[in-house]
């Protein structure tokens, strides 16, 4: 503790001295960053350094001092003072790491995210599992499918439901009566105890929807341990988190108006019809996710990456995801991602060249 106090005091004095020297080098054109008596300023700096070496207060002061130092007309003085500035920044970072305070990272989440710097290296034995949640009409399904296709990995959505239905060994007549879409519809609209008991069947004493979900969860875990894939929805992010299986979770959404417009164009709906459909589907997703996870669907704090597809479009949203994960992929997947990126860059270059030619021809 005594060593930390001494270290914080010494660093506070360095910051104070740097501010003083920058002020003197500039003359009276700008005021001091650190205002007050020397002892008062040092005491405040020392206290803040002991708590948050890279907190907003310290970093704001350093930024102002650095900005002023960069305006010095004399090259030699500027270089000397900026060297001192950089040395202090290095010390601040080292002190922050030792104190380990203020870092927003959750080590449990970092461990489960194979693309975080603090996670273990992504080896040939690890599998790339990308869980994508999306609001209805945001293009998330298309983004997920294209991502899986470009990375040459499997894509799962309704396929999982079909496989799980087979695992349930439900009665043949029930299987024939309800196809995958109807089962999903029932799951999404299961409200309260009345329907809970009405759907009661012989599978472990659980309603069809719940039995389906628990078997689906087991199947997703099995898949994650043996192959690479993209999975859409199904609360897969929480399922894998609870199982302690590394994955990356992504949520794709867009403003309500943008999604309504897209639905109107795709399905030739009126604004009222599209808005009603969108609200109904979003509510269904929200109910399903909360029922089986206890979390709020679409809340950014539950995902590793959130994307507003209206800001990028379907194509560039997929490219953004690839850029995020590319650096830590296995060599085989990294090569695929690199080739895909090169292909996209060439295609974009050709498109720009074609547009330039058309512009030159007055088309």
> What's the CA gap between 181 and 325, in Å, rounded?
32
Residue 14: per-residue pLDDT: 94
Closest by CA to 328, choosing from 118, 105, 109, 154, is 118
> What's the CA gap between 122 and 220, in Å, rounded?
20
Residue 165: per-residue pLDDT: 57
| C-alpha distance from residue 342 to each of 53, 152, 176, 348, 349 (Å) | 42, 16, 47, 10, 11
The tokens 């803040």 sit on which residue? 48
Which ranges in 27-115 belong to alpha helices (H)? Answer: 38-51, 56-69, 75-99, 107-112
Summarize pLDDT for 188-207 with one digit per residue, the tens. Answer: 454 443 443 344 443 445 56
Sheet holding 229-232, edge to edge: 154-156, 229-232, 129-134, 248-253, 305-308
Residue 98: per-residue pLDDT: 73
Residue 187: per-residue pLDDT: 47
The tokens 């040395």 sit on which residue? 87
pLDDT mean for each 10 residues of the chain (363 residues): 81 93 76 84 88 78 86 89 91 78 58 59 75 94 88 78 58 48 51 40 57 81 90 91 90 95 91 96 93 91 93 91 75 62 63 66 61
Summarize pLDDT for 110-161 with one digit per residue, the tens. Answer: 666 665 655 555 566 778 999 999 999 999 988 998 898 888 888 888 666 5
Residue 172: per-residue pLDDT: 42
Q: Going along 298-348, which residue ranges are E strands?
A: 305-308
CA torsion 24-29-32-36 (nearest 10°) is: 100
Residue 145: per-residue pLDDT: 86
Identify the structural domains of the chain with CATH numbers, from first to last: 2-99 (no CATH), 108-355 (3.40.50.300)
302 contacts 295 by C-beta, under 8 angstroms: yes
Residues 70-73: contacts with CB under 8 Å, at least 24 apart: 71/26, 72/22, 72/25, 72/26
């Amino acid at each position: 503790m005594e060593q930390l106090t001494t270290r914080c005091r010494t660093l506070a004095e360095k910051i104070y001295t740097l501010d003083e020297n920058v002020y003197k080098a500039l003359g009276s054109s700008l005021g001091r960053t650190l205002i007050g008596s020397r002892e008062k300023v040092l005491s405040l700096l020392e206290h803040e350094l002991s708590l948050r070496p890279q907190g907003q207060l310290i970093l704001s002061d350093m930024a102002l001092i650095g900005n002023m130092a960069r305006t010095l007309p004399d090259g030699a003085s500027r270089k000397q003072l900026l060297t001192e500035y950089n040395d202090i920044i290095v010390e601040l970072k080292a002190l922050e790491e030792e104190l380990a305070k203020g870092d927003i990272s959750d080590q449990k989440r970092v461990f489960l995210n194979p693309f975080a710097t603090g996670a273990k290296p992504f080896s040939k034995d690890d599998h790339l599992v990308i869980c994508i949640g999306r609001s209805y009409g945001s293009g998330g399904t298309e983004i997920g499918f294209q991502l899986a296709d470009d990375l040459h990995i499997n894509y799962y959505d309704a396929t999982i439901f079909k496989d799980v239905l087979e695992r349930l060994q439900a009665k043949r007549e029930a299987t024939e009566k309800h196809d995958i879409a109807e089962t999903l519809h029932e799951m999404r609209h299961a409200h309260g105890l009345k329907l809970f008991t009405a759907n009661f069947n012989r599978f472990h004493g659980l309603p069809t929807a719940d039995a389906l979900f628990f078997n689906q969860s087991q199947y997703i875990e099995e898949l994650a341990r043996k192959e690479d894939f993209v999975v859409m929805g199904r609360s897969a992010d929480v399922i894998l988190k609870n199982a302690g299986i590394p994955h990356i979770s992504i949520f794709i959404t867009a403003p309500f108006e943008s999604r309504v417009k897209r639905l109107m164009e795709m399905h030739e709906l009126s604004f009222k019809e599209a808005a009603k459909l969108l609200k109904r589907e979003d509510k269904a997703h929200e109910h399903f996710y909360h029922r089986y996870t206890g979390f709020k669907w679409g809340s950014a704090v539950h995902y590793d990456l959130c994307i507003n597809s209206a800001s990028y479009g379907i194509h560039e949203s997929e490219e953004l995801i690839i850029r995020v994960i590319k650096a830590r992929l296995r060599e085989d997947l990294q090569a695929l991602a690199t080739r895909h990126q090169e292909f996209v860059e060439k295609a974009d270059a050709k498109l720009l060249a074609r547009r330039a030619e058309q512009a030159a021809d007055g088309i």
